[in-house]
Amino acid sequence: MIEFILASKSPRRCEILRQYGFTFKTVESNAKEKHLEGELSEKEIKENIKYNSAIKAYNVWCDNESEVIVSADTTVVKNNVCLNKPHNVNEAFLYLKSLSGTSHQVYTAITIKARNYEKTEIFETDVYFRELSDEEIYSYISEFNPLDKAGAYGIQDFISEAEVADPPSKSFVSKIGGSYYNVMGICPVGLDRMLEDYKVWAVGTFNL
């Protein structure tokens, strides 16, 4: 398996990749991301996610040009509006209230950057929330303080991967369509396939 630098110190991404046996070290990116607000087209949203992922990879690669860099950017989208990390408890409540009883999308862009190589792909998961009471939302925010999470929630707070097929009744999440880990911040199956594509390219190009 290809060793790489993960351009992130996200504990959730690191946990996922270690669980799947990836070999990597972490370097935090200092890239300036773009956060779009208001209603946008699907194309604008996806281009922005891909930009943020790619610029994080490039920022780390500039100091590590002999290495393979992997980066990711995750965005929660409801009705073509990006729900970024909430600024405060009130915004977190409004985000979760808007997700109650409906479905939304979680997009994660993954970038692989190396010498003479760069590729970014987007992976999508549909997430369905059951109807939530105001008390449940405030209780969740108080207990988990999700201000560092896009959409104001972490799916791991509600269900484990083993519970995806049959979520517990108390879970905010009633159903998902797509990768569970994509919602947490990176799709390991997608990354594995992207690294294999890179390996094929590298062997053909450099006889590595």
Active-site positions read 73
Per the DSSP assignment, residues forming a β-bridge with 168 are: none
What token pair was written down for 187?
């799709």
For residue 94, which of 129, 130, 134, 125 has the smallest C-alpha distance? 134
Spatial distance between the Cα atoms of 117 and 134, rounded to a whole number of angstroms: 48
Spatial distance between the Cα atoms of 49 and 20, rounded to a whole number of angstroms: 24
Taking a C-beta distance cutoff of 8 angstroms, is the pair 86, 167 a contact? no
Number of residues that make up the chain:
208
